[in-house]
Amino acid sequence: MGGLGGNKVCLSQVPGSAAIAIDGELDDGSGATGRLRATQGTSGQNTIPASGALGGGVYSKDNVYTLCYRM
């Protein structure tokens, strides 16, 4: 996922406000860089991580995300 190699733990259906808080606390606050990467999910269903990280790295409170953290 988005250049994030190695073992990862992923979460699907993460609300935008939670994704912002999680990335800000555990990483650098950007969904495109660091140990935690994000892809936009689809509301109401589990979404597998996309091959590319979140474009621009900017979260929106109006979206849901799949987050992956490199262990």
Q: 9-61 pLDDT, tens per residue? A: 999 999 999 999 999 999 999 999 999 999 999 999 998 888 888 888 999 99
Query: pLDDT at position 31, please?
Result: 94
Vertex 52, ends 1 and 66: CA angle to 5°?
Answer: 65
List the structure tokens of 24. Answer: 């800000």
The span from the CA of 33 to the CA of 41, in Å, is: 18
8: its two tokens: 């990862």
pLDDT band, residue 3 (cuts 50/70/90): confident
Flag whether pLDDT at 2 surpasses 80: no
Rounded to two decimals, the pTM is 0.91
Q: What pLDDT is stored for residue 53 in this prediction?
A: 84
Residue 38: helix, strand or coil by DSSP?
strand
**43: Cβ–Cβ under 8 A, 6 or more apart, which residues?**
13, 64
